[in-house]
Amino acid sequence: MFSNAGIMRSSQGNQMILDFDVKASDRIFAINARGMTGCVKHAAIAMVKGGVKGSIVCTGSLLATTGREHFIDYVMSKHAVIGFGSVCQQRAGRAWDSRVDECEEFFARNSILKGCGVLKAGDVANAVLFLASQDSQFVTGQNIAVDVGTKLV
């Protein structure tokens, strides 16, 4: 199962710590954190009931591990995906022999990354397909970055 829900901005636009509006961030958390939780929960229930051993992949974000001052609510909501995935994997591996991973993506076009190219949807899809396939049967509980080397810059 691939949980690929997410939005980047609250109704208030970008949020920084000094003007952070908790209420405005509720929509981002409802979709990015709680929406993903609901997807994983119901997929896991169906997998357990059906005796299906498989893979659950959640969409994360590079910003969850690197941060970005103007997107504090988005960063927090995507960081929740990392924590939730870690907890789920502990149970999934023991209880129903399945895997839970995260595909962390970043779309960038700037002078620093000139020559590296820009991610396309297919690049992320290929990483997700790998995580969902039997080729990754020994890869579990991972946060795979598809980021054209952004973390290295």
pLDDT classification of 35: cutoffs 50, 70, 90 = very high
Instruction: Work out the burial of residue 42: count CB atoms within 10 Å of its CB; fewer than 13 is exposed, 13-18 middle, 19 or more buried.
Output: exposed
Active site residue 113: no
The pLDDT of residue 108 is: 46
Query: What is the Cα–Cα distance from 105 to 150, expressed in whole angstroms?
Result: 10
Residue 31 has pLDDT above 70, yes or no: yes
The one catalytic residue in 3, 62, 74, 81 is 74
CB atoms within 10 A of CB 116: 16
- Which of 68, 62, 96 shows the shortest CA–CA distance to 81? 62
The pLDDT of residue 34 is: 95
Residue 65 has pLDDT above 90, yes or no: no
**For 69, which DSSP code?**
T
32 close to 7: Cβ distance less than 8 angstroms = yes
Mean pLDDT of the region 106-124: 62
The pLDDT of residue 46 is: 93
Residue 38 has pLDDT above 90, yes or no: yes
Residue 118 has pLDDT above 50, yes or no: yes
- In the chain the domains, ranked by start, together with CATH numbers, are 2-152 (3.40.50.720)
Residue 153 has pLDDT above 70, yes or no: no
The pLDDT of residue 49 is: 93
